[in-house]
Structure 1
């Protein structure tokens, strides 16, 4: 069977290669379809399932893109390029190595391998990889910081919403307020 045949069985021009055989076309015969042999004993065992939330879709900002705006939604977001604006998602946010996000973040889980210039609010879990650069405040249920990452900002983690809003009497925040009042 020829892969490419000249249109209308016209002879090929000298300057164009001919992929079809020069023999006249064979009488039309019904081709037998190929049959794949899937023997279950020869199939590789299934890999262990990765526990990921498959109900939500992931949106990607590719490495060669620069976008300015606002992201809101219920799915996951992965930023590999540059984004300027706030990200407010009910899913997870991942900032890839080499990527930069300038703006505020509200997400269920935040993983930073690139650069974030903005605050992270109300995340259940924040993870800073060894290449992460975070300039901003963090309010999260838990925080994991890898050696080599850089943080500049205020961190509150392990507090629930009611404790985070209430002023602390014995903490640094209360002392700083008292110092400002004494200085004025």
Structure 2
């Protein structure tokens, strides 16, 4: 608490009891030449608190954007997220998420953790954890994903494998049967 007293009142004030400006008599205004004294000592000393460790900052994944008025040809690789609002021709291989906006077009293969399609994708989606097709989506290509959500109104043309892990989907299939089971029957004929 800050207390400002004139030098005359400091002599009569006790150190353990704070005095306030209203306690001083009104007849003795402080002069301009006197120095004010400030007491910043707390009346009670608070026990020191143990400082809680600050939580580690969570890494923020960066997102790259291909704007609606851009047309780009090439290859995208990286660890962040990618959002395509324009047109892109080439493969996209990211460890983050890929989003193709409504009105956007991607011609190429896709490898990403999560893929959300609202525009057009002409290419295969490989090894995604999750694929989501929104109502305006048009997908022409094969999909290999852990899970897939297809909204009413979206269009898809291609082969879809969902819910299989890498070891289960490795065996090629013929007419719905695993290739290993079909080969012995063909040799016997």
Q: Same fold (TM over 0.5)?
A: yes
For residues 157 and 173 of structure 2, the distance between their equivalents in structure 1, rounded to whole angstroms, comes to: 22
Q: Does 1:108 align with 2:113?
A: yes
Q: Does 1:163 align with 2:174?
A: no
| Equivalent position of 2:122 in the other structure | 117
Deviation at 1:170, TM superposition (A): 7.6
After superposition, what is the alpha-carbon deviation per residue over 1:52-107, rounded to whole angstroms, capped at 9, x for unaligned? x8621000000000000000000000000000000000000000000000000000
The correspondence for 1:141, drawn from 146, 152, 167, is 146
Q: Which structure has the larger Rg?
A: 2
The correspondence for 2:101, drawn from 96, 100, 106, is 96
Large movers: runs of 4+ above 3 Å: 167-170
After superposition, what is the alpha-carbon deviation per residue over 1:127-149, rounded to whole angstroms, capped at 9, x for unaligned? 00000000000000000000000
**TM-score (norm: length of structure 2):** 0.62
After superposition, what is the alpha-carbon deviation per residue over 1:3-55, rounded to whole angstroms, capped at 9, x for unaligned? xxxxxxxxxxxxxxxxxxxxxxxxxxxxxxxxxxxxxxxxxxxxxxxxxx862
**TM-score (norm: length of structure 1):** 0.64
- Give the direction of change, closer, same or farther, for the CA distance of 1:76–1:119 in structure 2 (3 Å limit): same
| Aligned residues of 2:83 and 2:98 also touching (Cα < 8 A) | yes
| Equivalent position of 1:67 in the other structure | 72
Report the number of matched residues: 127
Q: Does 1:130 align with 2:135?
A: yes
Uncovered stretches (5+) of structure 2, i.e. residues with no partner: 1-57
For residues 174 and 121 of structure 2, the distance between their equivalents in structure 1, rounded to whole angstroms, comes to: 31
